[in-house]
Amino acid sequence: MARDLTSGTGTRGGRLRVYLGSAPGVGKTYRMLDEARRRQERGVDVVVGYIECHGRRHTEAMLEGLEVVPRVHRSYRDAEFEEMDLDGLLARRPSVVLVDELAHTNIPGGRHAKRWQDVEEILAAGIDVITTVNIQHLESLNDVVQKITGIPQRETVPDEVVRRADQIELVDMAPQALRRRMAHGNVYKAEKVDAALSNYFRVGNLTALRELALLWVAGRVDEGLRDYRAAHRIDRVWETRERVVVALTGGPEGETLIRRAARIADRTAGGDLLAVHVSRSDGLAGASSGALAQQRLLVETLGGSYHVVVGDDIPTALLAFARAHDATQLVLGTSRRGRITRFLTGPGIGETTVDDSEDIDVHMVTHEFTGRGRLPSLGRRHSRRRTVLGYAAGLVLPWLLTAVLSQAHDSINLTTDALIFQLGVVIVALLGGAVSALLAAFIASVLLNYYFIPPVHSLTIGETNNIVSLVVFAAIALAVSTVVDHAGRLTSRAARATAEAETLSTLAGSVLRGADALPALLEKSRTAFGMRTVALLSRTGEVLAHSEAEQPDDGAPGETTEVPVGADAVLVLTGRRLPAADQRVLTAFAAHVGAALERDRLAVVAAEVEPIKAADRMRTALLAAVSHDLRTPLAAALASVGSLRSPDVEFSPEDQAELLATADESLVKLTRLVDNLLDMSRLQAGALTLHLTETHLDEILPRALDSLPDPYAPIQPLDLTVDIGEGAPPVLADPPLLERVLANVITNALRHNAPGAPVLVTASHHADLVEIRVIDRGPGIAPEDRDSVFLPFQRLGDTDNTTGVGLGLALSRGLAEAMGGSLEVEDTPGGGTTMLLTLPAARPTAPPADHPGEGPEA
């Protein structure tokens, strides 16, 4: 299956076409070569920059007739490699270049470390490039692929490089079809097919990789569609798939709306759930941050995404967000405002959104909080002391101003009197809010009329313009008091919002700190809210965590505030009484405390489970070992001895000798296995007795080679090369144990070595250390797997127990460390594994002046 994507970006000189594969072997290179042949038939100048056929005959046949630019040869660590000739391609300057394996890492010596960087230079020169890459090599999916397949991908390409391609074609194949191709030998050589089918190319792995590829390309298609609509100014929704947007206010109805929207999205395959909260541009929305945090967690649990947009006109912001994400449905909750409030304030958010929604379906969801709102507040909520002072000032200040202005009546006019009264109203508004300012404005209007507007000492107004002046004064007083009160409210809320933001930012930092998150959260909550103590209690009363002020308790009774933390715990604060605004922030604290508590619980569970898992792995491995490595030689020995003792059969001397040899060989294997198990148990118990003495390698190595197990004994000259060097000092070791270590390590190297390449054993010294290297040319060991090969009963994922129980390397490392040395794994230059055994020298000496102290490289 193929997906062809054309973005038309064209920002570089050349155009890039990418064949994206869901897995190796789906036919990317074949499709690339097929495209090249079609272009060549149309007269386009096409050359092959680099193609890797991997021995696939059908792919090699597609190369016939295409010009191939010769590769360059580079030496690296005594080995020769071939790479794409970048300079040759730029000098040849064709119209189109074929470059396979975009994520490839170049051999050192060229201009760029990665092949995709070579491609960027070719594109910059105005040359079109056709290339291939597998989904597992995209940088953003690297960790996901490793979790699926268990195999890390060391060669990656940035997603943006592929995203910028002018065309992306997905080369897809069903998992069963790909496995059939492999079984027929069309992907890997015959000797690799069985291992590949049982590991990387399992049906589950291929299905997951295929889904990753389809989703990645679908996202790219979605980007292209959005770019197209933006470029052509298409505002209407294209219902390519259902996208459901749910609007959240932070109110208690949020969870009901989220679940309702999730059910709507689930009715269609591939439906998306998006939750959005509209925050005011001044940052002073009264939504509960704690409730929004819990609702965000619920959205993400249901597979949706959470978004925050800024806007003062909520219906406009909601619809703009929905159209930007090509949403098909919008879910809103019915209003929590009461009927009186709706009558006074007019249409609400829901009604306005429905009127302006056009082609977006709007769902108005009822909930238990519908119509439970209150009348809008007329002013700020002040402390009781501020409220009393405000009313007192509203009653007293106009009389004081009247007394002062009456004394200066001859020197000032009516306009000045009105302005001074206006100033008094503003002062009252700042002190006590809008209600007390309205009271002051009413009293000031009466006093201004009675004492300063002719005829004075009478409420009668003689001139029409004075009536107008008094009405204007009252209107200005009302307007100014309202504006001043609103400005004060915004200032107060802005200061509080800043403080809350700083507190929650510090809180998030505490959560991210890791192991000490819970104590840090309790201490932060205690100091942030000025409490004496903060305790996290389980529902049974057990103290899970605690924070207390350093100052001694003064004995004064304190208020206790409790906030639930999940279903199993409660946060208890003792100290001052918390106002409602602080309780809102405290809810956010509780949500973070719950997250930290859950993480600590999961860590404890994981720590408790890990020893059980390790013991279970050990038990399983031991049972597997006993099932074969103990039973097989024991059964062979019993069968041989039983046959010899059978009175019914007459054996010739040759048959008797063969049966005795079989019994002897089986008992030797059994003895060796029991010795290894006993030595490993002694090592783990710390009960191994050592006899360290001066030991010469040239004496130990022949004995170690003689003790190699079948089929490696006797060792053949073509299988092993020994170069321990001249002048190597003796080591301080236990000779029998060192013999076993060397025998185990050499056996492991012979088992995994490449056919026809000898294993190399070298020795070198550095002052007081002797380094023994056992070098093979096998497949090598990945860095992340190097520690696991030294675990007991571990053969690097090998499920075949006919080669032993996997104690050799584990025992060897334990014995080396017991003798004061170490056993580590290194890469063999050019491919393979080097086992590095380091032991203390018995007689430290300095290396010769002309010898760097390093063993020869293989």
What is d(CA 842, CA 819) in angstroms, rounded to the nearest whole number? Answer: 12
Per mean pLDDT, which of 455-469, 471-485, 686-700, 801-815 is the most reliable? 686-700
What is d(CA 561, CA 568) in angstroms, rounded to the nearest whole number? Answer: 17
Question: Residue written as tokens 């605690």?
Answer: 546
Which pLDDT band holds residue 499 (cuts at 50, 70, 90)?
low
The neighbour count for residue 44, using CB atoms within 10 Å, is 13
Using CA atoms of 289, 290, 293, 294 in order, give the dihedral in degrees to the nearest 10.
-150
Which pLDDT band holds residue 376 (cuts at 50, 70, 90)?
very low
DSSP 527: H
Q: Are 153 and 38 in contact (CB under 8 A)?
A: no
Q: Mean pLDDT across the stretch 221-241?
A: 60
Which pLDDT band holds residue 850 (cuts at 50, 70, 90)?
very low
Looking at residue 347, its pLDDT comes to 65
Q: How far is CA 427 from CA 389, 436, 440, 471, in A?
A: 11, 10, 10, 20
What is the DSSP secondary-structure string of 171-183?
E---HHHHHHHHH
Q: Mean pLDDT across the stretch 185-190?
A: 73
> Which tens digits make up the pLDDT trace of 34-55?
999 999 999 999 999 999 887 7
Q: Which of the pair, 473 or 842, is modelled with greater confidence? A: 842
What is d(CA 89, CA 105) in angstroms, rounded to the nearest whole number? Answer: 18
**Amino acid at the residue 6:** T
> Which tens digits make up the pLDDT trace of 762-797?
888 766 888 888 999 888 888 877 777 777 655 544
Q: Mean pLDDT across the stretch 683-709?
A: 76
Least trusted range by pLDDT, from 24-33, 130-139, 425-434, 653-662: 425-434
Backbone angles phi, psi at 715, to 5 degrees: -70, 140
User: What pairing do the DSSP bridges indicate for beta strands 72-76 and 79-83?
Assistant: antiparallel
Question: Over 80: is that where the pLDDT of 360 sits?
Answer: yes
Q: Mean pLDDT across the stretch 81-94?
A: 91
> Which tens digits make up the pLDDT trace of 378-403?
444 455 677 788 788 888 888 988 88
Q: Which of the pair, 492 or 446, is modelled with greater confidence? A: 446
Which pLDDT band holds residue 233 (cuts at 50, 70, 90)?
low
Q: Which of the pair, 77 or 257, is modelled with greater confidence? A: 257
Non-local (6+) Cβ contacts of 47 within 8 A are 66, 67, 68, 69, 89, 92, 94, 96, 97, 98
DSSP 627: I
Looking at residue 619, its pLDDT comes to 54
Percent of residues, the chain, with pLDDT higher than 90: 8
What is d(CA 737, CA 679) in angstroms, rounded to the nearest whole number? Answer: 10
First to last CA, the chain: 46
With CA atoms as reference, report the closest residue to 792 among 775, 804, 777: 804
Looking at residue 515, its pLDDT comes to 46
Which pLDDT band holds residue 655 (cuts at 50, 70, 90)?
confident
> Which tens digits make up the pLDDT trace of 740-768?
888 888 888 888 888 878 888 888 876 68
Question: Over 90: is that where the pLDDT of 17 sits?
Answer: yes
Backbone angles phi, psi at 371, to 5 degrees: 70, 20
Question: Over 70: is that where the pLDDT of 313 sits?
Answer: yes
Looking at residue 18, its pLDDT comes to 93
> Which tens digits make up the pLDDT trace of 521-552?
777 677 666 677 888 888 777 787 777 766 54
Backbone angles phi, psi at 782, to 5 degrees: -65, 145
Q: How far is CA 715 from CA 669, 708, 772, 774, 775, in A?
A: 18, 8, 19, 15, 16
What is d(CA 538, CA 532) in angstroms, rounded to the nearest whole number? Answer: 20
SS3 at position 86 = helix
What is d(CA 671, CA 665) in angstroms, rounded to the nearest whole number? Answer: 10
> How many Cα atoms are found within 13 Å in the side-chain-facing hemisphere of 305?
8
Mean pLDDT, the chain, integer: 75
Question: Over 50: is that where the pLDDT of 374 sits?
Answer: no
Question: Over 70: is that where the pLDDT of 190 sits?
Answer: no
Looking at residue 91, its pLDDT comes to 92
Q: Mean pLDDT across the stretch 716-737?
A: 78
Percent of residues, the chain, with pLDDT higher than 70: 71
Q: Mean pLDDT across the stretch 159-167?
A: 87
Which pLDDT band holds residue 371 (cuts at 50, 70, 90)?
low
Q: Which of the pair, 29 or 185, is modelled with greater confidence? A: 29
Non-local (6+) Cβ contacts of 272 within 8 A are 241, 242, 243, 244, 265, 304, 305
Q: Are 470 and 441 in contact (CB under 8 A)?
A: no
Which pLDDT band holds residue 203 (cuts at 50, 70, 90)?
confident
Question: Over 50: is that where the pLDDT of 94 sits?
Answer: yes
Q: Which of the pair, 280 or 200, is modelled with greater confidence? A: 200
Looking at residue 558, its pLDDT comes to 65
Question: Over 70: is that where the pLDDT of 346 sits?
Answer: no
Q: Are 55 and 193 in contact (CB under 8 A)?
A: no
* The two three-digit tokens of residue 148, written as one number: 């699926």
Q: Is the dihedral of CA 333, 336, 338, 341 positive or negative?
A: negative
With CA atoms as reference, report the closest residue to 259 among 243, 271, 275: 275
Least trusted range by pLDDT, from 68-77, 302-311, 597-606, 836-845: 597-606
Looking at residue 338, its pLDDT comes to 59
Question: Over 70: is that where the pLDDT of 700 sits?
Answer: yes
Which pLDDT band holds residue 172 (cuts at 50, 70, 90)?
confident
